[in-house]
């Protein structure tokens, strides 16, 4: 009888420890990295935080938006709809020269399922064509801007350039990504 009570007590303690560990892990991932549960993926809140750092101020923004995109999985194949959850994190220091430190993050969702993600340093991200997403990283002090192009099919980086692609180059790249 004593052995059964001891076993039940150990089982109860084990369950409490396991649940506490899972809750702590969730709070750490949600609060620090921004990994969210699937229900959270269908909301987008933006935030602004102003911090004093020595003599200057830091303006820290986190902007979120959704973009719905239709793209061809392959030429002549089927049209697929993706929902892109886009986030731009920016830390602008008051009076600092050059573009602010920032990152563009995109999570692609097909229905309720999460697909690919990308994280790229840059100040702006946009869907450019049926098959391409572009991140713009501003140059500083005479340095050119950087344009990074990604495939909407799988989120892979396809081209990096220091000048915007011409219309013909864009059409060619769009067609090659669709293959």
Q: Which residues contact 64 (CB under 8 A, 6 or more apart)?
A: 44, 45, 46, 85, 86, 87
Please provide the distance, in angstroms rounded to a whole number, between the alpha carbons at the two ends of the chain: 69
* Element spanning 33, H or E: none
Cα 103 to Cα 134: distance, rounded to the nearest angstrom: 13
Cα 139 to Cα 2: distance, rounded to the nearest angstrom: 73
pLDDT by residue for the chain (179 residues), tens only, comes to 556 666 677 777 767 776 666 666 655 555 444 455 555 556 677 888 888 877 788 888 999 999 998 876 666 666 778 899 999 999 988 878 878 889 999 999 887 777 899 999 999 999 998 889 999 999 988 889 999 999 998 899 999 999 999 999 988 988 888 76
Look at residues 31, 95, 104 and name the one whose alpha carbon lies nearest to residue 62: 104
pLDDT in tens, 78-127: 677 889 999 999 998 887 887 888 999 999 988 777 789 999 999 999 99
Tell whether pTM > 0.75: no
């Amino acid at each position: 009888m004593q052995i059964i009570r001891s076993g039940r007590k150990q089982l109860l303690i084990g369950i409490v420890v396991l649940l506490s560990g899972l809750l702590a892990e969730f709070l750490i991932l949600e609060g620090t990295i921004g990994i969210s549960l699937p229900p959270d993926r269908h909301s987008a809140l933006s935030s602004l935080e102003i911090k004093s750092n020595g003599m200057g101020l830091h303006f820290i923004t986190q902007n979120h938006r959704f973009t719905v995109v239709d793209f061809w999985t392959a030429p002549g194949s089927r049209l697929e709809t993706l929902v892109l959850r886009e986030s731009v994190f920016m830390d602008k220091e008051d009076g600092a020269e050059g573009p602010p430190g920032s990152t563009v993050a995109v999570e692609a969702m097909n229905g309720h399922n999460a697909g690919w993600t990308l994280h790229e340093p840059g100040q702006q991200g946009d869907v450019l064509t049926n098959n391409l997403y572009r991140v713009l990283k501003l140059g500083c002090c005479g340095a050119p801007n950087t344009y990074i192009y990604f495939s909407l099919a799988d989120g892979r980086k396809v081209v990096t350039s220091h000048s915007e692609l011409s219309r013909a180059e864009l059409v060619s790249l769009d067609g090659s990504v669709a293959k």
